[in-house]
Amino acid sequence: MQNMFSCLRWTNELMLLMFFVGSLISVCLGDIRSDVNVLFGGDRVKFFKERRRVDLSLDQYSGSGFEFKKSFIFGKFDIEIKLVPKNSAGSVTTFYLNSTHGTSHDEIDFEFLGHLHPLRYILQTKIFTNGVGGREQRIHLWFDPTKDHHKYSILWNPQVIIFYVDDTPIRIYKRNRGVLYPNMQPMTLYATIWDGSDWATDGGKVKIDWKEAPFVASYNSHNVDGCVWAGSGTKTYCNSKSPPWWKKIWTLSADEWKKLGWVKKKFMIDDYCDKKKRPLEC
């Protein structure tokens, strides 16, 4: 409720802003049923009456997914997810941005890799720019992500990408000099669940157990605050004489750096930055 009211108030302020600024476009989305299209899986994408929650399920015939109708050029994207309980080995649950309207491939991903109960979920984050990936980081979470909904967010602006879990930063990717950075094309937001048995769990050694199907992940309370892409032929950047708050972020606060340090120290399993030849952005 709290969330919804602040959302409404904010929309009003934005309308005022838009009146004065003209082309600054931003949205506040609350009703998931009207904000997304079913991408695949038919009625495995299940909407709920309160219109803020949608469940995705996976069985031996299909996974499922939805995509947001609008595409964005930068923004802050939040959604709450409750992951597949118990044995989720082989399944992959996602929330990500993909540059499906562009010429080259950019992607910013949360991927939750299923596990054999009672082991723990692995959260993998990925960044592709200009078709180049290989920037995976993997962490465990500091809570059981199958018990409740937790908030997962991507902040993406011209100078920095930050991944958050319940507002704790788990990764920052800065556009330092010489770093490849996704800033040339719009991105669309997706959420999916699918069978990743060939790689997701223990490098593909543990397959999905269909006796446990359907595998259900629940999404809730999204909040998308971005610069809406107006369609092909339009300029890449939103006009922002009065930039939205998420565009003014350049780095983490001292407190956030501390938290990120804690995450890396306690929960990081795998980091592409730990190479002999350290990538520029690391």
What is the residue type of 166? D
64-82 and 215-228 as β-strands: parallel, antiparallel, unpaired? antiparallel
Where are the extended beta strands (E) located within the chain?
Answer: 36-40, 45-47, 53-58, 64-82, 91-98, 107-113, 122-128, 137-139, 150-156, 160-165, 168-174, 187-195, 215-228, 268-271
What is the residue type of 201? T
- Whichever of 111 and 281 has its CB closer to ligand NAG, that residue is 111
Shortest gap between Cβ of 85 and ligand NAG (angstroms)? 24
- Whichever of 99 and 125 has its CB closer to ligand NAG, that residue is 99
Q: Six-digit token pair at 96?
A: 């990500």
- Whichever of 71 and 87 has its CB closer to ligand NAG, that residue is 71
**50 flagged as catalytic:** no
Burial level of 193, CB count in 10 A (0-12/13-18/19+)? buried
Active-site choice (13, 50, 67, 111) = 111
**281 flagged as catalytic:** no
Rounded Cα distance, 267 and 273, in Å: 15
Shortest gap between Cβ of 69 and ligand NAG (angstroms)? 16
Write the CB contacts of 46 (distance below 8 Å, at least 6 apart in sequence): 54, 55, 56, 57
- Whichever of 101 and 147 has its CB closer to ligand NAG, that residue is 101
- Whichever of 78 and 111 has its CB closer to ligand NAG, that residue is 111
Rounded Cα distance, 64 and 72, in Å: 22
Rounded Cα distance, 263 and 19, in Å: 42
Where along the sequence are the contacts to ligand NAG (CB under 6 A)?
Answer: 98-100, 105, 107
Q: Six-digit token pair at 90?
A: 């082989």
Cβ-based neighbour number of residue 191 at 10 Å: 25
For ligand NAG, the nearest residue by Cβ is 98
- Whichever of 10 and 40 has its CB closer to ligand NAG, that residue is 40
**The residue count for the chain:** 282
Active-site choice (107, 136, 212, 256) = 107
Q: Determine contact, residues 24/5, Cβ cutoff 8 Å.
A: no
Return the ∠ at Cα 160 (arms to 158 and 164), rounded to 5°: 130
Residue positions annotated with a catalytic role: 107, 111
